[in-house]
Structure 1
Amino acid sequence: MEKDYRPPPYSSPQMDETQMNYPVQPAPYPPPAGPQAAPYQPPPYGPPYASQPMPIPAVQQMPLTSLMDVPGRITCPHCLTEVITETEHVSGLLAWLICGTLALFVCWLCCCIPFCMDACKDVKHTCPNCRNIIRIYKRIQ
């Protein structure tokens, strides 16, 4: 059998039996404003020696949608240098669709022609400085 370790309820001579059963209501937060209330001041954050905030450098967004099927001038998002992109034509969805259509309906001997034409291929733009891929322009998404 466990013992009850709670202290007995507090009773004062000023409280009658009906007031003892009601819970104490918490004070409202924030305290009501008035002439007696002090104005709210947030606590100071950061180093105390910083009198002026440090400027944050702005990051510029480059429009990558302007890179189509020809090389373009852009600031590389990887190495942050302004370059003219190098392009490489790679086989994409359009080349494969034309190949399948030629093989099924026209002539299966001509189905390799789309892989020889740059106008049917996707274009991969790379940075000549860091060699990272900047964008792949797809003829068909």
Structure 2
Amino acid sequence: MNNIAPVGPKPGTLICPSCRASVVTRIEHKATTRTHIVAFLLCLFLCWPCICVPYCVDSCQNADHYCPSCNAYLGTYQA
């Protein structure tokens, strides 16, 4: 896990190391290799319309945290 600050799956309050502001982090969810594998397995064993589920569920994706003030990267929570 490549974290600058300890982060979790939800927005958190911390002091940004770049701008020194006390902020609630902004999160961007990103699909990972594991997300793609789960989608592939759903396609194989269930039905093809189910492949969108891992891309719509935040818990199947990494949460990248950013400072809303200066947009600095603060860390990643790996799902």
TM-score (norm 2): 0.80
- Give the letter for the 1:88 counterpart: E
Could you say which structure has the greater relative contact order, defined with CA pairs below 8 angstroms and 6 or more residues apart?
Answer: 2
Is 1:96 aligned to 2:24, yes or no? no
Query: Which of the two has greater helix per residue?
Result: 2
Larger Rg, first or second structure (1 or 2): 1
Partner residue in 2 for 1:40: none
C-alpha separation in 2, matches of 1:70 and 1:110: 25
Q: Percent identity?
A: 33
Runs (5+) with no aligned partner, structure 1? 1-62
TM-score (norm 1): 0.49
Tell me the C-alpha RMSD between the 2 structures.
1.7
Q: CA deviation at 1:134?
A: 0.7
Paired residue total: 76
Secondary structure at the aligned position of 1:69 is classed as coil
| 1:1-141 alignment, distance < 5 Å | 64-65=5-6, 67-139=7-79
Query: Which of the two has greater strand per residue?
Result: 2
Moved over 4 A (4+): none
